[in-house]
Amino acid sequence: MPVITMSGNLAGGAREVGGAVSRLLDIGFVDQALMVQAAKRCGVPIGTLAKHDERYGSLRERVSQLLQTFLERSAASGGADPLTGATGLEAVLSRTYADMAADRVEPHLSDSTYVETMTAVIEEIASEGDTVILGRASQIILKDWPKAVNVLCVAPQELRFRRLSERDSIGLEEATKRVHESDRARGAFYRKFWKVELEDPNLYDISINTWHVDYEAAAELVAATVRLKASN
């Protein structure tokens, strides 16, 4: 029941390697979009998913059930207002790195509420195992989980500019701007909430430079690390 966290800056390859690991090991892949969609589905009857998206839908439904359990526990324990329903949880999970790093007052979402909520959600998902989790500080939240494998993907900025330009069909100048903005926001987020630097090697079991290693080969390295850690 492996749990693998994938981290890195925009266009560094974490998403792509995470997807390749998910396919290689035939396990789920959970990113922010899936968590938000799962929160929206809390309380929605099972069996209403589009047939063309069966595998993704099944995982989304499973995460939705986990989030529903989390909401019920929060309500039973007198949880804070933002967590009293799916809409509130969706709002928490929808926050971007830039949103959370910004120095502004959020009357309905304190820093402590955000950290507690994300910690509980990530741990709830990880408790089921067989999952790749992308970002959201999952590598820090799960750092003490004995069988979790935390992976960092890095790449030179110039390569990341080109990748984002090609991926999003935007000009190189715009891609460069977005990468710089994302790096600042992501770095500020990790420093503000977790008091760490994203690329601190001590946070990870393995670091992969996706300039030198392609995504599929990187997935093989992650799978080997999973097997090694499971055997210890």
230 vs 127: CA distance, rounded Å: 16
49 vs 29: CA distance, rounded Å: 18
2 vs 223: CA distance, rounded Å: 10
Number of domains comprising the chain:
1
In this predicted structure, which of 12-16, 53-57, 159-163 has the lowest mean pLDDT? 53-57
pLDDT tens, residue by residue, 212-223: 999 999 999 999
The 3-state DSSP class for residue 191 equals: helix
Q: Does position 33 have pLDDT exceeding 80, yes or no?
A: yes
pLDDT value of residue 113: 82
Percent of the chain with pLDDT over 70: 86
H/E/C letters for each residue in 131-158?
A: EEEECCCHHHHCCCCCCEEEEEEECCHH
Q: Does position 108 have pLDDT exceeding 80, yes or no?
A: no
Band (192; pLDDT cuts 50, 70, 90)? very high
Phi, psi (rounded to 5 degrees) for 145: -75, 120
pTM above 0.75, yes or no: yes
Band (99; pLDDT cuts 50, 70, 90)? confident
DSSP lists the bridge partners of residue 152 as 7, 207
Give 60 or 201, the one with higher predicted confidence: 201
User: Are residues 196 and 140 in contact, defined by beta-carbon separation less than 8 angstroms?
Assistant: yes
Q: Does position 105 have pLDDT exceeding 90, yes or no?
A: no
pLDDT value of residue 106: 61
Q: Does position 109 have pLDDT exceeding 90, yes or no?
A: no
pLDDT value of residue 102: 82
The CATH number of residue 113's host domain is 3.40.50.300
The residue type of 123 is E
In this predicted structure, which of 2-16, 94-108, 151-165 has the lowest mean pLDDT? 94-108
Residue 228 makes CB contacts below 8 A (sequence gap 6+) with none
Sign (positive/negative) of CA torsion 77, 80, 84, 86? negative
Band (51; pLDDT cuts 50, 70, 90)? very low
Query: Domain residues for 131?
Result: 3-231
Give 208 or 147, the one with higher predicted confidence: 208
Residue 58 makes CB contacts below 8 A (sequence gap 6+) with 49
CA angle 112, 115, 118 (to 5 degrees): 145
pLDDT tens, residue by residue, 2-32: 999 999 999 999 999 999 999 999 999 999 9
- Candidates 38, 24, 29; CA nearest to 5 is 29
